[in-house]
Chains A and B, each alone.
Chain A
Amino acid sequence: MADKDKAVKKRKVPLSPKRRAQTRREFIRSSVMAAGVLGCSLLGFLPVVQGRSLRLRPPGAIKAPLDEEEFLAACIKCGQCVQVCPVEAIKLSDLDEGFGVGTPYIQARDQACDFSCDGLQCVLACPTGALTHELDFPADARMGFARLAAPSKCLALQGKGFKGQARGPDFEGILRYSEIDRWNPIPVADHPYDLEICDLCVRQCPIEMRITECAADEAKQQQSDQPLVAKKIGHECPPKHAIRLEPVASSGGTAKMKPVILDGCVGCGVCEMICPPEPPAIVIDIRVNTDTV
């Protein structure tokens, strides 16, 4: 009993000066550490405010131009979209992009999204809806909008053709060439071209290619008396053209052509990837899309 009284009494005794100093020091270093962690995490806001985290995102990334807040909020930074992409176009951002760390982006010049997967695998893989399930076909994507940024570099505008590997022998990017292999993309370096006038941006545009395929399907359908096998739904066949070459008035003997970007462009970046000159004549503007341009 005496023990118990002593214990109770002891607890009521105020802390010794030494113990008090210890507690105070612990409080100070705990606060500093917590503030440090919080401060470091908030540094992630800087690149976002400065717009340095703005990137070409995979199809379906929810965003208003110039505002990626919703996308950065919804993305759980898991990289499942990276894993399903057949052309490995998707990369993950690093810590220099602050709150954007771990979010997917596409470096179109190195490897653009050519919709090889047809079914928008990245959108299907996304667990949080950061890549919104609201789009069904490539033509519904709004990634950006192509722009002829350096007309002086454009081979077609100079009336030049193109012969050889579009991006040289060491280029590692791959594309799907339906006429070679419908299912497996091959290196661009393995597919040399020989063109009288360079039309690579039009020729390789996934939207244009799909329109051509659809037209061929339809022609075949009309020729045969067979009943319709499968009806095309939604925008499976893109409703609008994305890019075409238009002749420009020229004084010389050579025909000069200019790539003109049309309403159907979704900003996938294949034109930027395939354009032979360095830097490319055509690039993707991520701040606009066909609805806002």
Chain B
Amino acid sequence: MSYILESLRVMLGGAPRKPQPGDIPIEIKTIYKDKREEGLTKEDLLAAEEAHRGTGRHHRWLWRRWTTLVIVNILFVISYHFDVQLVEGALTASRVLGFHMADLNSALQVMLAYKHVVLNLVIGTSTVFVLWLLLGGRTFCSWVCPYHLVAEWAEHIHLWLAKKKIVKDHALNRRIRVVLYVLFALLALVSGYTVFETVSPTGILSRALIYGPGIALVWVGVLLLIEIFYSRRAWCRYMCPIGLTYGAVGLFSPVRVKYNVEACHHEGDCRKVCMVPHVLDVTIRGRALAMNTDIGSDCTRCGLCVDICPTHSLNFEVKGLSKFL
């Protein structure tokens, strides 16, 4: 219960809690103390990272994820162009082997605007809800959304330019996502138009892939330029209502990333690669309240932190199933 509430609070824009030293159990305190006494030098940390890179496992989840994302989106494309009817439609709504699927956020927009729900939409929405409940919620973002992939590439350009001191990342307030979410919902309800769909890069890119490019891609380009030159991952991090919708589903999902404080070097590599680094605040020295902590549901389960961690302190887990895996 506390996981859900705390996760929701942080997802809605709240700052992660900083525990007072008195809140930390004695056994965790001992771990921190032992680590301080061990006194790892910068060289030690770099050596650990080097050794980790040597294992060849530092891009394991990245490749799995990119492969999945590309395959899912290509399935849409070949289903249409070769008429094989595996996945008909686009990411907003589709039929997978004949079963209805509807993107939760698109379905919400339609329901609010049209104020009338047909059975097929109920079936499609419920199927997708259960699917992402089982798979982790925002897993949709990093494992399926085509915008996430191009934004990831744009992020590399941003980081390269930032390293050369050509651009600077301008952080935004995470609360604007909540504000936009509420406003888009209200706009759909009051205006009777699916206003958000007009600017949804997920829908635009998915349709462009399947049905051919159009001028709507200019908008996607604008977003990418903002992310490269002004604010790192601005759309996915601070604005996209789809992320918030799936994040809410993820609150109740058993698929999470688990942090184990014991071997952690607290060097912060995970927070540097993370798209939503506020969920990883627990990896800062002195923040953990228990040996194991579940990462909050704003996490997209992309696995970049799992990949980069030199001490295997971050891992995927399926609650209740970990015993059997």
The total of Cβ contacts below 8 Å across the A-B interface reads 170
Contact A4 B116 (CB under 8 A): no
CB contacts (< 8 Å) of B187 on chain A: these are 41-42
Known: A30-B176, A41-B198, A72-B194. A77 touches B90 (CB 8 A): yes
The yes or no answer to A96 lying at the interface (CB within 8 A) is yes
CB contacts (< 8 Å) of A82 on chain B: these are 80, 211
The yes or no answer to A183 lying at the interface (CB within 8 A) is no
Residue of A nearest to B219 (CB): A95
* Chain A interface bracket (under 10, 10 to 19, 20 to 34, 35 or more): 35 or more
Complexed CA–CA distance, A130 and B21 (Å): 58
The yes or no answer to B118 lying at the interface (CB within 8 A) is yes
The yes or no answer to A115 lying at the interface (CB within 8 A) is no
Q: Is the interface of B mostly helix, strand, loop or mixed?
A: helix
Residue of A nearest to B212 (CB): A92
Complexed CA–CA distance, A4 and B24 (Å): 12
CB contacts (< 8 Å) of A213 on chain B: these are none
Q: Is the interface of A mostly helix, strand, loop or mixed?
A: helix
Contact B211 A79 (CB under 8 A): yes
* Chain B interface bracket (under 10, 10 to 19, 20 to 34, 35 or more): 35 or more
Residue of B nearest to A3 (CB): B21
Residue of B nearest to A94 (CB): B214
Known: A73-B192, A73-B193, A77-B92. A95 touches B107 (CB 8 A): no
Find the residue from A41, A91, A95 having the highest chain B CB count within 10 A.
A41
CB contacts (< 8 Å) of A222 on chain B: these are none
Report A48-107 residues with CB < 8 Å from chain B CB: 48, 69-70, 72-80, 82-84, 91-92, 94-96, 98-99, 101-102
The yes or no answer to B251 lying at the interface (CB within 8 A) is no
The yes or no answer to B32 lying at the interface (CB within 8 A) is no
Contact A77 B179 (CB under 8 A): no
The listed residue (A34, A80, A92, A99) touching B195 by CB distance below 8 A is A99
CB contacts (< 8 Å) of A128 on chain B: these are 93, 102, 110, 114, 118, 120-121
Residue of B nearest to A34 (CB): B176
CB contacts (< 8 Å) of A172 on chain B: these are none
Contact A33 B234 (CB under 8 A): yes
The listed residue (A8, A83, A94) touching B215 by CB distance below 8 A is A94
The yes or no answer to A37 lying at the interface (CB within 8 A) is yes
CB contacts (< 8 Å) of B191 on chain A: these are 45
Contact A41 B207 (CB under 8 A): no
Contact B116 A74 (CB under 8 A): yes
CB contacts (< 8 Å) of A34 on chain B: these are 176, 179-180, 239
Residue of A nearest to B196 (CB): A41
Complexed CA–CA distance, A51 and B171 (Å): 40
CB contacts (< 8 Å) of A79 on chain B: these are 89-90, 207, 210-211
Q: Which residues of B contact A (CB under 8 A)?
A: 20-22, 79-80, 88-90, 92-95, 100, 102-103, 106-107, 110, 113-116, 118, 120-121, 124, 170-173, 175-176, 179-180, 183-184, 187-188, 191-199, 203-204, 207, 210-211, 214-216, 218-219, 226, 231, 234, 238-239
Q: Which residues of A contact B (CB under 8 A)?
A: 3-4, 7-8, 26-27, 29-31, 33-34, 37-38, 40-45, 48, 69-70, 72-80, 82-84, 91-92, 94-96, 98-99, 101-102, 125-130, 133
List 13 interface pairs A-B (beta carbons < 8 Å), by A numbering: A29-B170, A30-B173, A33-B226, A37-B239, A73-B110, A75-B194, A76-B93, A76-B110, A78-B93, A82-B80, A92-B211, A95-B204, A127-B120
**Which 9 A-B residue pairs are closest in the complex by CB-CB distance?**
A73-B113, A44-B198, A78-B93, A95-B216, A129-B118, A94-B214, A30-B173, A78-B89, A74-B114
